[in-house]
Structure 1
């Protein structure tokens, strides 16, 4: 069962995403910001298949989290989420470490598909 770490500072978004991808049998762990997610990654020695993180968060944003996670856990697939065009633009230079950027708002189907694609790419790579 794939393990997915979800980082988003909005409670409702975090729980929606966790419920949506749990429908596909994935184990989910949630974090309320990038620093919390990094603590979880470190404590669990990066034993996740996918990091799904919002870009704009307090304390540590998703891009800083992605850069640190990619450095410390190079086998971890990373998927970003954002509702802001400027944040999507910031992420465009991260193609080497980020699988994709999912634009908010998205449907349950969209996020499940994005997660499935990222996990399939991890298996293939």
Structure 2
């Protein structure tokens, strides 16, 4: 067993983590995370697949010139990049406001629990 495997297995059986995993705060953190990530991922995939579908089955529409040599397909393709950066910005902002404070609180509780557990073991030794 490698050192990484041992650390991963120890983390799975960490009583401090197990206790925190059962708290309302941890459930709230997961709910908030999923509440942003799942809809954002679904929306982005729909947007991307729309681009692919239109490219394959609506070539006349996608080839329509908007101005000069710029057509609808080029604009849609460039908007994929804009959407990616926009989603990254929105997630970062959401995370800073809604996820990080709760995650920091849970991490502090975890660290306190780990220190408390090691202090108790040292006192017994």
TM-score range, shorter chain: under 0.3
Give the structure-1-normalised TM-score.
Answer: 0.22
The structure where helix makes up a greater share of residues is 2
The structure where strand makes up a greater share of residues is 1
Give the structure-2-normalised TM-score.
Answer: 0.22
**Greater length-normalized contact order (CA 8 Å, ≥ 6 residues apart):** 2
Greater Rg over alpha carbons, structure: 2
